[in-house]
Amino acid sequence: MKKFLILFTCLIPFAGICQDNLKLWYKQPAKVWTDALPLGNGRLGAMVFGRVKQELIQLNEATLWSGGPVRTNVNPDAYANLLLAREALFKDEDYAKAYNYAKNMQGYYSESYLPLGDLTITQDLKDTVPTAYYRDLNIRNAISTTRYTINGVTYTRQVIISAPSQVIVIHFTASKAGQLNFKLGAASLLKHSMVMLPGNQLAMKGKAPAHADPNYVDSANPITYDVTGCKGMRFQLQIKAVSKDGKISADTTGVNVKNATEATIFLSAATSFNGFDRCPVSEGKDESKIAGDYMKKASAQSWPTLLAAHYADYRHFFNRVSFKLATPADNSNASLPTDERLVAYTSGVKDPDLETLYFQYGRYLLISSSRTKGVPANLQGIWNKELRPPWSSNYTTNINTQMNYWPAEVANLSEMHVPLIDFIKNVAVTGRRTAKEFYHAKGWVLHHNSDIWALTNPVGDKGKGDPTWANWTMGSPWMSQHLWWHYQYTKDKKYLREVAYPLMKGAAQFCEDWLVPDKDGYLVTAPSVSPENAFFDDKGKKASVSIATTMDMSIIRDLFANVIAAANELGDDKAFRDTIIAKQAKLYPFHIGKKGNLQEWYKDWEDPEPHHRHVSHLFGLFPGNQISPVNTPELTAAAKKTLELRGDEGTGWSLAWKINFWARLLDGNHSYKMIKDLLRATAVSGTKYSGGGGSYINLFDAHPPFQIDGNFGGVSGMAEMLLQSQNNEINMLPALPDAWATGEISGLKARGNFEVSMRWKDMKLTSASVLAVVGGKCTIRTGAPIKVAGVTAGSKRTANGYVTTFNTQKGARYKISSII
Ligand code: FUC
């Protein structure tokens, strides 16, 4: 009884944070990078190791990439090869030939996201083995603490990355006066030099490489520098220590602090990046001035002042959502350090608090990695230690970049979606050139890789890439889904008219030109791939480049539906809308294969790898909404069969995608099974493509290696289990698993700009509230009839639960109670 009292007093009046236990904590320092704890303000990132004698804080700056603005017209042969590939596909059904022509259509690889450097704090300690040790990351306040006791002195280091002040701040204290003696040092894998600045400040001045080859490319000279041209931005890191009682000195080897009781360390960094289309050298920003200005302002403030501003800023976003689940009678797992807790959870111990922590951690990671204009979270968010990181730590747009942003709206972090939207504006500029130069097509195209320079060409170094990833062309229509979602959740018509619609229209114009008729008059894509899978053709030969994969057609169908809806919403552009309506009717349709599955390919071909991690042909189930149990039961059954044939195993993002799929199939228990798989402890550091997905002890998603998309896809999947809003209705608790029988969540967002809170007990919704941020019609689907306070409309029984529709007033909150 007491437990439920605690649980339920939280939600009144459905606002404010009540979730506790929002910490990752450990009894020992980080041994490896994925033990360290991530902090970020969306631009600056840090991985805090929590070491004793020599602390290591690995640093990142979101705009620090190799390379410079993209070159144009890099493959003048592309169009001729497109025509040849189409001839091979339509006339000869020769998939091997089409594959080779596709290779001839490639451009250059993307650039890489780079590490800024390492900060070391070397303490002058006689003993190095502490008698007490503790480190944590508190995600309610976005602060990391490391504490240890040596020779009777307790040392405490707290680290924040402030968004208001744009600096990293480390507050270091000793429990006995004058016991702090340490040296700050810095290193970087990039070319750099250390220089002194006035006031005992140290600066690292550096330059990024002109190019870094992807880690999967065998290369004799993978990192190159350009001394005179536009490739290779400048960067600067400034280091300063402030102490009331300590003595500070510095030279180019580091900053020394002697006999202090308390010291505050400031790190400020900036690059000369000045936009995707500007030379970062001659037209670059003054990184020295930017870093210097932030440093000057921040270091004049006290630790409590900096902390208060940081808390206020962070909590403004984080506190919007609270999520609690009833805990088992024996909830002792929740009090274990996070590494032990994860291992116990993996062995089957129940720990619902770990699941809600994981959900909130994903929200924390998005707030921490996605706040830089035009620079969305990349494959590793903003946390990368390597010069040649896995897959260049770039933007991989055949699933990964989009997955990063699946939770942005539903988890009430709409502002964090904006860096992606601004990035889409950039790729629409370069993508227009690529569409014209490569394919003689209108509109804009984006292939499967991009970078801070808004690269849009098919990668592969002109023929070295495998077309099954390099030649995937559906980036612009898929990205457009995010433009539309942002509108659906905000209902901001000005944004729709001025930003989203023109970009969506540009993607639709590309699709119009890219689609060609097949022999039956259907509009199809050719060449076409299903990332990154293959098939056995009619002759039993393994192939991957074909016609009209289900993913291509689903993405285009999604875009066309959204463009039509957007034009209707704006009451504008009728002629264009009508041409899209006409084309929509001719798109190659879904097919159900002989095994009862949703067909992945143009024909019902067999898979060489039936358990492949990509499940691209279910795009229409999620993130699309063309397949749903209510509207398309046959396709839904086929989608379910597909998932059963594919199996549950996968890399991190693949597991996360499957949480979302099963939620859309309304099978909460299967979604929950996938959550458990996503949260299983792993330490695999090498690359694994089949299986191996899970979580490291810092709860970073393991692809393996680390890739952040699974964290974000996991948050999205959990939200989809509790709330769906894709079909003009708010579906409350659509896929509740037995393991989450009793709980509450507040602050999720639904399309239509409704903020939703719900409370449920023994698998049944007991009460809810809907805040109508902008007003308008609201339709709610529930398992049992509901009553909406102050509203006369009753619930109508349907084949799939009850539907209640009522009009809302802008700003009003509607209280809902369950009738049963
Ligand atoms: C695609 C995926 C891989 C990985 C990489 C970043 O190539 O197939 O699994 O996620 O992107």
CA distances from 820 to 7, 564, 761, 764, 801 (A): 21, 40, 12, 9, 13
Q: How far is the CA of 289 from the centre of ligand 1 (A)?
A: 38
Q: Which residues does residue 56 pair with via DSSP β-bridges, in sequence order?
A: 120
**The residue to which tokens 């700056």 are assigned:** 61
Ligand 1: residue of 217, 404, 707, 708 to mutate (most ligand atoms within 8 A of CB) is: 707
Token duo for residue 544: 């991957």
Q: Which atom of ligand 1 is nearest to the CA of 709?
A: 10
Token duo for residue 322: 């609270």
Contacts of 793 (CB under 8 A, 6+ apart): 804, 805, 806
SS (H, E, C) 354-409: HHHHHHHHHHHHHHHHCCECCECCECCECCCCCCCCHHHHCEECCCHHHHHCCHHH
Alpha-carbon distance of 411 to 618, in angstroms, equals: 23
Ligand 1: residue of 393, 400, 447, 449 to mutate (most ligand atoms within 8 A of CB) is: 400
- Pick from 776, 814, 809: which is nearest to 491 by CA? 776
Report the amino acid identity of residue 125: L
The count of other CB atoms within 10 Å of the CB of residue 77 is: 14
> Nearest residue CA, atom 9 of ligand 1?
689
Report the amino acid identity of residue 167: V
CB hemisphere CA count around 360 (13 angstroms): 33
- Pick from 19, 20, 112, 38: which is nearest to 696 by CA? 38
Decide: 511 and 566 in contact? Cβ < 8 Å: no
Token duo for residue 766: 């007991």
Q: How far is the CA of 820 from the centre of ligand 1 (A)?
A: 47
Ligand 1: residue of 530, 615, 703, 708 to mutate (most ligand atoms within 8 A of CB) is: 703
Q: How far is the CA of 60 from the centre of ligand 1 (A)?
A: 22
Show the low-confidence residues of the chain (pLDDT under 50).
1-18
Alpha-carbon distance of 377 to 416, in angstroms, equals: 9
Helix axis angle for 95-103 and 78-90, nearest 10°, is 170
Q: Which atom of ligand 1 is nearest to the CA of 531?
A: 8
SS3 565: helix
Task: Note the pLDDT of residue 20.
Answer: 60
What DSSP string describes 70-118?
Answer: PPS---TTHHHHHHHHHHHHHTS--HHHHHHHHHTT--PPP--B---EE
Q: Which atom of ligand 1 is nearest to the CA of 390?
A: 6
Task: Note the pLDDT of residue 43.
Answer: 98
CA distances from 655 to 40, 109, 797 (A): 26, 28, 35
For the segment 606-630, what is each residue's pLDDT rounded down to a tens digit? 999 999 999 999 999 999 999 999 9
Alpha-carbon distance of 250 to 255, in angstroms, equals: 4
pTM: 0.97
Decide: 233 and 274 in contact? Cβ < 8 Å: no
Residues with CB under 6 A from ligand 1: 379, 391, 396, 400, 469, 532, 613, 651, 653, 689, 703, 707
Alpha-carbon distance of 244 to 160, in angstroms, equals: 20
Contacts of 229 (CB under 8 A, 6+ apart): 68, 210, 281
Residues 364, 674, 596, CA angle at the centre, nearest 5°?
135
Q: Which atom of ligand 1 is nearest to the CA of 654?
A: 9
Alpha-carbon distance of 750 to 688, in angstroms, equals: 36
Alpha-carbon distance of 307 to 291, in angstroms, equals: 20
**The residue to which tokens 């602090």 are assigned:** 257
Decide: 466 and 536 in contact? Cβ < 8 Å: no
Decide: 199 and 240 in contact? Cβ < 8 Å: yes
Alpha-carbon distance of 272 to 283, in angstroms, equals: 8
Contacts of 129 (CB under 8 A, 6+ apart): 150
For the segment 13-26, what is each residue's pLDDT rounded down to a tens digit? 333 334 568 999 99
Q: How far is the CA of 665 from the centre of ligand 1 (A)?
A: 25
Q: What is the mean pLDDT of the chain?
A: 96
Q: Which residues does residue 421 pair with via DSSP β-bridges, in sequence order?
A: none
**The residue to which tokens 């002042």 are assigned:** 305
Ligand 1: residue of 391, 612, 711 to mutate (most ligand atoms within 8 A of CB) is: 391
Q: What are phi and psi of 201, to 5 degrees?
A: -100, 150
The count of other CB atoms within 10 Å of the CB of residue 216 is: 12
> Nearest residue CA, atom 2 of ligand 1?
532
Give the rounded distance of the alpha carbon of 775 from its chain centre.
Answer: 30
Q: Which atom of ligand 1 is nearest to the CA of 689?
A: 9
Alpha-carbon distance of 344 to 328, in angstroms, equals: 15
Beta strands (DSSP E) in 507-639 are 516-517, 523-524, 535-536, 542-543
Q: How far is the CA of 396 from the centre of ligand 1 (A)?
A: 7
- Pick from 381, 503, 392: which is nearest to 444 by CA? 503
Task: Note the pLDDT of residue 58.
Answer: 99
- Pick from 603, 559, 601: which is nearest to 584 by CA? 559
State the DSSP code for 159: E
Q: How far is the CA of 62 from the centre of ligand 1 (A)?
A: 21
Token duo for residue 654: 């693949």
**The residue to which tokens 């009833």 are assigned:** 326
Q: What are phi and psi of 511, to 5 degrees?
A: -60, -40
286: left (phi over 0), alpha (psi -120 to 50) or beta: beta
Alpha-carbon distance of 171 to 147, in angstroms, equals: 12
Give the rounded distance of the alpha carbon of 40 from its chain centre.
Answer: 14
> Nearest residue CA, atom 5 of ligand 1?
391
Task: Note the pLDDT of residue 638.
Answer: 98
- Pick from 486, 484, 476, 513: which is nearest to 501 by CA? 484
> Nearest residue CA, atom 10 of ligand 1?
400
Alpha-carbon distance of 162 to 306, in angstroms, equals: 8
Decide: 587 and 556 in contact? Cβ < 8 Å: yes
Q: How far is the CA of 766 from the centre of ligand 1 (A)?
A: 42
- Pick from 451, 352, 489: which is nearest to 107 by CA? 451
Decide: 532 and 510 in contact? Cβ < 8 Å: no
Ligand 1: residue of 109, 399, 447, 466 to mutate (most ligand atoms within 8 A of CB) is: 399
Alpha-carbon distance of 587 to 620, in angstroms, equals: 14
Decide: 299 and 162 in contact? Cβ < 8 Å: no
Decide: 14 and 318 in contact? Cβ < 8 Å: no
The count of other CB atoms within 10 Å of the CB of residue 40 is: 27
Token duo for residue 698: 């810092």
Decide: 48 and 160 in contact? Cβ < 8 Å: no
Alpha-carbon distance of 584 to 599, in angstroms, equals: 20
Q: Which atom of ligand 1 is nearest to the CA of 469?
A: 7
